[in-house]
Amino acid sequence: MSKLLIENVSRTFAGVRGGQPVRALMPIDLAVAANDFITILGPSGCGKSTLLRIVAGLEAPSEGRVLLDGKAVNRPGPDRGMVFQSYTLFPWLTVAENIAFGLRERGMAEKERDGIVASYVDLVGLKGFENHWPKQLSGGMQQRTAIARALANDPEILLLDEPFGALDNQTRGLMQELLLGIWERRKKTVLFVTHDIEEAIFMASRVIVMTARPGRIKSDVAVGLPHPRHYTLKTSPEFSALKARLTEDIRVEAMRTAQAA
Amino acid sequence: MRPLHPVPPGIRTVLGISFFVLFVAFWAWITLGGHVNRIFLADPLSMLRDGWRLLVEDRFWLDILITIWRVFGGFLLASVVAVPLGIAMGAWKPVEAFLEPFVSFARYLPASAFIPLLILWAGIGELEKLLVIFVGSVFQIILIIAVKVGSTRRDLVEAAYTLGSTNNGIVSRVIMPANAPEIAETLRLVLGWAWTYVIVAELIGSSSGIGYMIINSQSRLATGQIIFGIIVIGLIGLLSDFAFKAFNRWLFPWSLA
User: Which residues have C-beta within 8 Å of that of residue B148, sequence separation ≥ 6?
Assistant: B86, B90, B179, B182, B183, B186
Rounded mean pLDDT of A183-192? 92
Closest-CA residue of chain A to B157 = A88
In this complex, which of B155, B163, B166 lies closest to A149 when CB atoms are compared? B163
ipTM above 0.85, yes or no: yes
- What is the distance in angstroms between the Cα of B151 and the nearest Cα belonging to chain A? 15
CB B187 within 8 A of CB B245: no
In this complex, which of A78, A92, A133 lies closest to B164 when CB atoms are compared? A78
Task: Tell me the chain B residues in contact with residue A133 when contact means C-beta distances shorter than 8 Å.
Answer: 253-254
Return the higher-pLDDT residue of B129 and A260: B129
Of A192, A207, A226, which one is at a domain's C-terminal end? A192
In a domain, A30, yes or no: no
- What is the distance in angstroms between the Cα of A93 and the nearest Cα belonging to chain B? 8
Q: b/e per residue, A187-206, with b = 16+ CB within 10 A? A: ebbbbbbbbbbbbbbbbbbb
Full set of structural domains in chain B with CATH? 42-251 (1.10.3720.10)
Q: Assess whether A250 and A213 both reside in one domain.
A: yes
Residue A27, judged by CB atoms within 10 A of its CB (0-12, 13-18, 19+), counts as: middle
Note whether A165 contacts B: Cβ–Cβ < 8 A.
Answer: no
Confidence (pTM): 0.88
- What is the distance in angstroms between the Cα of B190 and the nearest Cα belonging to chain A? 24
CB count, 10 Å around CB of A142? 21
Contact across the interface for B163 and A86, Cβ inside 8 Å:
no
Q: Coil, strand or helix: which one is A217?
A: strand
Q: Please state, in angstroms and rounded to a whole number, the distance separating the CA atoms of residues A225 and A133.
A: 39
pLDDT band at A22 (very low <50, low <70, confident <90, very high): confident
* Interface probe with A: pick from B152, B162, B174, most Cβ of A within 10 Å: B162
The verdict on whether omega for the bond into residue A228 sits within 30 degrees of 0, i.e. cis, is: yes
Task: Tell me the chain B residues in contact with residue A90 when contact means C-beta distances shorter than 8 Å.
Answer: 156, 159-160, 174, 177-178
Q: Give residue B124's pLDDT.
A: 85
Count structural domains, chain A.
2
Q: Please state, in angstroms and rounded to a whole number, the distance separating the CA atoms of residues A186 and A209.
A: 26
Contact across the interface for B178 and A56, Cβ inside 8 Å:
no
Note whether A76 contacts B: Cβ–Cβ < 8 A.
Answer: yes
- Residue A77 bridge partners (DSSP): none
Q: Assess whether A182 and A99 both reside in one domain.
A: yes
- Residue A63 bridge partners (DSSP): A10
Residues across chain B:
257
Residue-wise pLDDT for A107-132, tens only, equals 999 999 999 999 999 999 999 999 99
Contact across the interface for A81 and B162, Cβ inside 8 Å:
yes
Interface of A with B in 188-227 (CB under 8 A): none
pLDDT band at A78 (very low <50, low <70, confident <90, very high): very high
Q: Give residue A261's pLDDT.
A: 60
In this complex, which of B161, B173, B178 lies closest to A76 when CB atoms are compared? B161
Q: In angstroms, how far is CA B78 from the centroid of its own chain?
A: 12
Contact across the interface for A88 and B253, Cβ inside 8 Å:
no
In a domain, A187, yes or no: yes
Contact across the interface for B164 and A105, Cβ inside 8 Å:
yes
Q: Assess whether A90 and A180 both reside in one domain.
A: yes
Of A192, A219, A251, which one is at a domain's C-terminal end? A192
Domain residues for the domain of A125 are 77-192
CB B110 within 8 A of CB B127: no
In a domain, A7, yes or no: no
Q: In angstroms, how far is CA A173 from the centroid of its own chain?
A: 16
Contact across the interface for B159 and A92, Cβ inside 8 Å:
no
Q: Give residue A18's pLDDT.
A: 79
Q: In whole numbers, what is the pLDDT of chain B averaged over residues?
A: 92
Q: Assess whether A82 and A116 both reside in one domain.
A: yes
Closest-CA residue of chain B to A137 = B254
In a domain, A103, yes or no: yes
Q: Assess whether A188 and A110 both reside in one domain.
A: yes
- What is the distance in angstroms between the Cα of A43 and the nearest Cα belonging to chain B? 23
Q: Assess whether A93 and A176 both reside in one domain.
A: yes
Q: Assess whether A238 and A163 both reside in one domain.
A: no
Angle at B74 between CA B71 and CA B75, to 5 degrees: 75
Task: Tell me the chain A residues in contact with residue B156 when contact means C-beta distances shorter than 8 Å.
Answer: 88, 90
Listing DSSP states for A73-135 in one string gives P-S--TTEEEE-SS----TTS-HHHHHHHHHHHTT--HHHHHHHHHHHHHHTT-TT-TT--GG
User: A47: alpha, beta or left, given left = phi > 0 and alpha = psi -120 to 50?
Assistant: left
Q: Assess whether A187 and A226 both reside in one domain.
A: no
Contact across the interface for A90 and B255, Cβ inside 8 Å:
no
Q: Please state, in angstroms and rounded to a whole number, the distance separating the CA atoms of residues B13 and B7.
A: 10
Residue-wise pLDDT for A127-163, tens only, equals 999 999 999 999 999 999 999 999 999 999 999 999 9
SS3 for chain B, per residue? CCCCCCCCHHHHHHHHHHHHHHHHHHHHHHHHCCCCCCCCCCCHHHHHHHHHHHHHHCCHHHHHHHHHHHHHHHHHHHHHHHHHHHHHHHHCHHHHHHHHHHHHHHHCCCHHHHHHHHHHHHCCCHHHHHHHHHHHHHHHHHHHHHHHHHCCCHHHHHHHHHCCCCHHHHHHHHHHHHHHHHHHHHHHHHHHHHHHHHHHHHHCCCCCCHHHHHHHHHHCCCHHHHHHHHHHHHHHHHHHHHHHHHHHHHHCCCCCC
Task: Tell me the chain B residues in contact with residue A105 when contact means C-beta distances shorter than 8 Å.
Answer: 160, 163-166, 169, 173
Q: Which DSSP state fits A215?
A: B
Q: Assess whether A181 and A212 both reside in one domain.
A: no
Closest CA to B40 of B27, B26, B52: B27
Residue B25, judged by CB atoms within 10 A of its CB (0-12, 13-18, 19+), counts as: exposed
In this complex, which of A92, A153, A159 lies closest to B163 when CB atoms are compared? A153
The verdict on whether omega for the bond into residue A214 sits within 30 degrees of 0, i.e. cis, is: yes
Q: Assess whether A188 and A127 both reside in one domain.
A: yes
In a domain, A91, yes or no: yes
Q: Give residue B256's pLDDT.
A: 62
Q: What is the pLDDT along chain B (257 residues), one digit of tens a residue?
A: 889 999 999 999 999 999 999 999 999 999 999 898 888 889 999 999 999 999 988 889 999 999 999 999 999 999 999 999 999 999 999 999 999 999 999 988 888 888 888 889 988 888 999 999 999 999 999 999 999 999 999 999 999 999 999 999 999 999 999 999 999 999 999 998 898 889 889 988 888 999 999 999 988 888 899 999 999 999 999 899 999 999 999 999 888 64
Residue-wise pLDDT for B36-72, tens only, equals 888 888 999 999 999 999 998 888 999 999 999 999 9
Q: In whole numbers, what is the pLDDT of chain A averaged over residues?
A: 90
Q: Assess whether A157 and A251 both reside in one domain.
A: no
Rounded mean pLDDT of A46-61? 92
In a domain, A19, yes or no: no
In a domain, A46, yes or no: no
User: Which residues have C-beta within 8 Å of that of residue B253, sequence separation ≥ 6?
Assistant: A133
Q: Coil, strand or helix: which one is A38?
A: strand
In a domain, A2, yes or no: no
Interface of A with B in 100-129 (CB under 8 A): 101-102, 105-106
Task: Tell me the chain B residues in contact with residue A156 when contact means C-beta distances shorter than 8 Å.
Answer: none
> What CATH number should be reported for the domain holding residue A173?
3.40.50.300
Closest-CA residue of chain A to B161 = A76
Q: Coil, strand or helix: which one is A21?
A: coil
Task: Output helix, strand, coil percentages for chain A, rounded to the nearest 5.
Answer: 40, 25, 35
Of A192, A219, A242, which one is at a domain's C-terminal end? A192
pLDDT exceeds 60 at position A188: yes
- Residue A6 bridge partners (DSSP): A30, A66
CB A27 within 8 A of CB A66: no
- What is the distance in angstroms between the Cα of B188 and the nearest Cα belonging to chain A? 20
Note whether A237 contacts B: Cβ–Cβ < 8 A.
Answer: no
Note whether A150 contacts B: Cβ–Cβ < 8 A.
Answer: yes
Residue-wise pLDDT for B153-176, tens only, equals 999 999 999 999 999 999 999 999
Q: Assess whether A201 and A99 both reside in one domain.
A: no
Q: Coil, strand or helix: which one is A175?
A: helix
